[in-house]
Amino acid sequence: MPIENERKFVLKDDGDLEARLATRAGVTRSYLRQAYLDVSGMRIRSVQEGGAMRYVFTYKRPVDGQIVEIETEISAVDFERLWSQRRETLQKLRYSWTDAPFHWDVDFFKTDGDSTYFVQAEVEMPEGQVEPPPLPPDLADHLLGIAPAGDPRFASKRLASQAHAEQLLADITSKGRIE
């Protein structure tokens, strides 16, 4: 079973971070349009990367204290059919790279007008690893805080709400930490 084992880092956006990541060697850039369906644990996503578009259906479920994540590609037609059943939606620009044994994603959550309202890095770790690795040096100066493992406030589904994300960011910034 594919087990999700990740940690999240809230980053401050200085207006240049996205451009710097775009020029970093070994980084891929993708644009994601994502929706959560009317059934718990199910989401769909369109991923535009390098001129190609793909569509992914994901099912996540907690099992014995871990998150099982199953993904499969679907057709554009099925994506559009499922899109009609969406609840929360979001769009984000993602920069990804692998630094074995870790996989890093930095997500820039976007408004319809393409403004960034929240930035979060995520590291996928080997199953069983508890402590996250240090942030890569080019992200370290942007760290506002490390999200507690499994904290639902930092789930993309919650961050789809711009109001929630902006309030969360304001709380972190004013307190100087994540509580």
What does the pLDDT read at residue 21? 97
The pTM for the full model equals: 0.95
pLDDT of 155 reads: 96
Full strand arrangement of the beta sheet holding 86-99: 3-4, 66-74, 52-63, 42-49, 28-37, 86-99, 102-110, 116-124, 6-11, 143-146
**Residue 2: its pLDDT value, please?**
84
The pLDDT of residue 164: 98
Does 2.40.320.10 match the CATH number of domain 3-175? Answer: yes
With contact defined as beta carbons under 8 Å apart, do 34 and 47 qualify?
no
- What are the domain boundaries of the chain? 3-175
pLDDT tens series, the chain, 179 aa:
488 999 999 999 999 999 999 999 999 999 999 999 999 999 999 999 999 999 999 999 999 988 999 999 999 999 999 999 999 999 999 999 999 999 999 999 999 999 999 999 999 999 999 999 999 999 999 999 999 998 999 999 999 999 999 999 999 999 999 99
Distance CA 112, CA 129 (A): 37
